[in-house]
Amino acid sequence: MAASIIFLLYGDNPVNAKIGLQRLLVLYHAQNSQTTDIITQWILSQNDSQWRTKIVEILWTIKAKHVLQSLGLEVQDLQERFLDPSALRNAEISLQIHPILKGLYCICEQLEPIEAKQLIEFVYSKDDKSQRINFADERYLEVFLLHWLSELVIEAGQWFTDKTKRNVFCNVEVIIEFLNLNKPNLAKLLRNIVIRFNFTSNNRLPVDRKKNVTDDDGNDDHLKSKKSQSTEERPLVQSDRNIQNGNDNADRYRVERGTAGYVLIINQDHLPAKPLDRRDGTNKDKNALCQTFSAVGYEIVERTNLTNVQILSEVENIVKRSASSDSLIVCILSHGSKGVVYGSNSLPVKIDDIQERIVSKELLNKPKILIIQSCQGEEFQIAQPIEDSFTNSMYLASDGVPIKTVPMRCDFFVAMSTIPGYASIRHIIKGSWFIQALCKTIDNESHRKHFIEIMTMVKKEVTELRGDRDQCMVPICEDTFRKYFYFPTKMP
Per residue in 241-296, pLDDT tens? 443 444 446 789 999 888 899 999 999 887 665 455 667 778 888 999 999 999 99
Asked whether residue 227 is domain-assigned, the answer is no
CATH number (domain holding residue 429): 3.40.50.1460
Q: What's the Cα-to-Cα distance from 168 to each of 18, 98, 204, 388, rounded to whole Å?
A: 19, 12, 10, 63
Q: Tell me the per-residue pLDDT of 366-380, one tens digit each, with 9 for 90 and over.
A: 999 999 988 654 444
Average pLDDT over residues 45-49: 64
Closest CA to 92 of 255, 321, 426, 318: 321
**CA–CA separation, 455 vs 458, rounded Å?**
5
pLDDT of the residue at 39: 66
- Please check whether residues 184 and 271 belong to one and the same domain: no
Report the relative pairing of strands 471-472 and 381-382 from DSSP bridges. antiparallel
Q: What is the pTM of this model?
A: 0.49
pLDDT of the residue at 239: 39
Which residues, 6+ apart, have CB-to-CB distance to 167 below 8 Å? 157, 158, 159, 160, 197, 198, 200, 201, 202
**CA–CA separation, 487 vs 442, rounded Å?**
9
pLDDT of the residue at 231: 35
**CA–CA separation, 85 vs 79, rounded Å?**
9
pLDDT higher at 139 or 236: 139
Q: Point out the least confidently predicted range of 9-23, 137-151, 190-204, 327-341.
A: 190-204
- Please check whether residues 140 and 90 belong to one and the same domain: yes
pLDDT higher at 453 or 73: 453
Of 170, 201, 218, the residue that ends a domain is 218
pLDDT at 100 over 80: yes
- Please check whether residues 465 and 327 belong to one and the same domain: yes
Q: Tell whether the torsion through CA atoms of 198, 204, 206 and 207 is positive or negative.
A: negative
- Please check whether residues 203 and 257 belong to one and the same domain: no
Rounded to an integer, what is the distance from CA 218 to the centroid of its chain? 35
- Please check whether residues 286 and 418 belong to one and the same domain: yes
Helix axes 2-10, 36-44, angle to 10 degrees: 10
Average pLDDT over residues 439-461: 92
Asked whether residue 95 is domain-assigned, the answer is yes
Q: What is the CB neighbour count within 10 angstroms for residue 136? A: 11
pLDDT of the residue at 368: 95
- Please check whether residues 152 and 207 belong to one and the same domain: yes
Which pairs count as long-range contacts for 89-92, CB under 8 Å and 24+ apart, including other chains?
89/189, 89/321, 90/321, 91/189, 91/193, 92/189, 92/192, 92/193, 92/196, 92/324
Whether the Cβ atoms of residue 485 and residue 410 lie closer than 8 Å to each other: no
* Percentage of the chain lying above the pLDDT 90 cut: 26
Longest Cα separation, the chain: 93
Average pLDDT over residues 352-381: 80
pLDDT of the residue at 40: 67
pLDDT higher at 163 or 292: 292
Of 202, 218, 234, the residue that ends a domain is 218
pLDDT of the residue at 44: 66
Q: What residues form DSSP beta bridges with 422? A: 379
Asked whether residue 488 is domain-assigned, the answer is no
pLDDT of the residue at 377: 44
**CA–CA separation, 262 vs 163, rounded Å?**
17
**CA–CA separation, 271 vs 287, rounded Å?**
19
pLDDT higher at 299 or 48: 299
- Please check whether residues 261 and 213 belong to one and the same domain: no
Helix (H) or strand (E) holding 412: strand 412-416
- Please check whether residues 262 and 200 belong to one and the same domain: no
pLDDT at 227 over 90: no
Q: What residues form DSSP beta bridges with 387? A: none
Number of domains in the chain: 2
Please, what is the average pLDDT of the chain?
Answer: 76
- Please check whether residues 207 and 308 belong to one and the same domain: no
Whether the Cβ atoms of residue 302 and residue 267 lie closer than 8 Å to each other: yes
Average pLDDT over residues 112-131: 86
φ and ψ at residue 337, rounded to 5 degrees? -145, -175
Q: Tell me the CB-side half-sphere exposure of residue 16, using CA atoms within 13 A.
A: 18
pLDDT at 229 over 60: no
Helix, strand, coil in percent for the chain, rounding step 5? 45, 10, 45
- Please check whether residues 189 and 112 belong to one and the same domain: yes
Asked whether residue 489 is domain-assigned, the answer is no
Asked whether residue 232 is domain-assigned, the answer is no
Model confidence at 33, pLDDT cuts 50, 70, 90, reads low
pLDDT higher at 244 or 133: 133
- Please check whether residues 39 and 187 belong to one and the same domain: yes
Asked whether residue 458 is domain-assigned, the answer is yes
Asked whether residue 205 is domain-assigned, the answer is yes
pLDDT at 179 over 80: yes
Helix (H) or strand (E) holding 299: strand 299-304
- Domain that includes residue 54, residue range: 2-218
- Please check whether residues 317 and 461 belong to one and the same domain: yes
pLDDT higher at 161 or 95: 95
Q: What residues form DSSP beta bridges with 340? A: 337, 350
Asked whether residue 226 is domain-assigned, the answer is no
Average pLDDT over residues 404-423: 69
Average pLDDT over residues 420-448: 82
Of 168, 200, 218, the residue that ends a domain is 218
Whether the Cβ atoms of residue 458 and residue 433 lie closer than 8 Å to each other: no
pLDDT of the residue at 410: 83
Which residues, 6+ apart, have CB-to-CB distance to 349 below 8 Å? 308, 311, 312, 340, 341, 342, 343
Which pairs count as long-range contacts for 128-132, CB under 8 Å and 24+ apart, including other chains?
129/211, 130/211
pLDDT of the residue at 248: 45
**CA–CA separation, 6 vs 24, rounded Å?**
7
